[in-house]
Amino acid sequence: MQEPHLKRDSTMMSTSFDKAVDSDSSALHWDIDSIVGQLRALRLATPGRRFGDRPAKLPSQKALAGILDGLTAALFPNRLGLPDLTNEGVDYFVGNTLDLTLRELLEQVRRELQFSAEFETDSATIRARAIAITREFAAKLPTVRQLLESDIRAAYQGDPAARSVDEVLVCYPGVTAITHHRLAHVLNGLGAPLLARMIAEVAHSDTGIDIHPGAQIGGSFFIDHGTGVVIGESAIIGQRVRLYQAVTLGAKRFPTDDNGELIKGNQRHPIVEDDVVIYAGATILGRITIGKGSVIGGNVWLTRSVPPGSNITQAKNRTEAFDDGGGI
């Protein structure tokens, strides 16, 4: 019974607002032409701008999300694919999904190559290179699947709370992060570092785990809980390594050149050898080596190499009491 009144009240409010805007139109002058001109000047003056005011399009984050969905569905069709897949239809689903996904990936690779080209490179040359990268990426997917199988198994075996490998695959943020990393690392090595970094940041946003796509990570890798883990670009991690939340494998310092600019690409992150366990909150900085089979305790701050089989814990609290400044 009251609905007509509600509609009338809504219409009256809208009409009143429109009248207010019309009556105040002289005040609603944003000087847009001037602002647009200033923004254009700033764009043209941006350091490193190579394409004037019409740069090549960057890869699409929205498209990349769909590509990741397609790749993970093709890698694990029975768990991440269509819910009603039959044994007879799995291969068809994987093939069709891969074809569609790789075509979309090709376009994003082409965009990156076009954007990063130092000069106005011929579009046919860029497309040919994009096809080559995408084809090489596709050829490495079986290897990625094998590595991920070892990571999932390591997570299941390393966590007493895990009830099945399927639970690990669909629920564990560490598995999501390493899945994204395995894909990103391949693209990074094939010459698509921007796409790789975008994939890494998707995982970072979703899981709180920040793994640079340049990091080299061996099989059977497990991040338990995960939030706050940071793994730097030049880190090297061996086989069967386990990390807990808030672990940092970072750089100790950032050297600069004669002009004060940061030196890019130097080896500044740790090397973690096989069978190492690093507990929550540990911070390991610099190009140091954590020897095989070592255990690094929680909240340890480490800036020196340790030999294989080491057990590093926090320093014990001193219990001595000093009076009147004694012992200082």
According to the model, what pLDDT value does residue 327 have?
Answer: 42
**From residue 282, how far is each of 228, 236, 249 by CA, in Å?**
11, 17, 9
Q: d(Cα 142, Cα 148) in Å, to the nearest integer? A: 10
SS3 state at 139: helix
Tell me which of 1-5, 68-72, 272-276 is least confident.
1-5
215 and 204 Cβ atoms separated by less than 8 Å:
no
Rounded Cα–Cα distance for residues 155 and 135 (Å)? 31
pLDDT tens per residue across span 291-300 = 999 999 999 9
Q: Over range 95-113, report the average pLDDT.
A: 97
In this model, does residue 13 exceed pLDDT 80? no
Residue spans per domain, the chain: 56-208, 215-316
pLDDT at 147 exceeding the cut of 60: yes
Confidence of residue 29 (pLDDT cuts 50, 70, 90): confident
Split at pLDDT 50, 70, 90, the class of 1 is very low
Do residues 238 and 100 touch, judged by C-beta distance below 8 A?
no
For residues 250 and 235, is the Cβ–Cβ distance under 8 A?
no
Judge whether residue 51 has pLDDT over 60.
Answer: no
Q: Spelled out in words, what is the top-level CATH class assigned to the domain 215-316?
A: mainly beta
Provide mean pLDDT across the span 216-224.
98
**318 pLDDT above the threshold of 80:** no
Q: Give the model's confidence band at 215: pLDDT under 50 very low, under 70 low, under 90 confident, else very high.
A: very high
Q: Is the dihedral of CA 72, 78, 81, 86 positive or negative?
A: positive
According to the per-residue pLDDT averaged within each range, which of 34-48, 151-165, 308-322 is highest?
151-165
Mean pLDDT taken over the chain = 88
Q: Is the pTM for the entire model greater than 0.85?
A: no
Q: What angle do CA 47, 53, 58 make, to 5 degrees?
A: 80
Q: Which of 274, 128, 78, 115 is nearest to 198 (CA)?
A: 115
At residue 77's C-alpha, the angle toward residues 73 and 78, to 5°, is 140
β-strand partners of 262: 256
- 242 by DSSP, 3-state: which? strand
Superfamily of domain 56-208: serine acetyltransferase, domain 1 (1.10.3130.10)
Residue 17 pLDDT exceeds 60: no
The pLDDT, as a whole number, for residue 26 is: 61
SS3 257: coil
pLDDT at residue 50 greater than cutoff 90? no
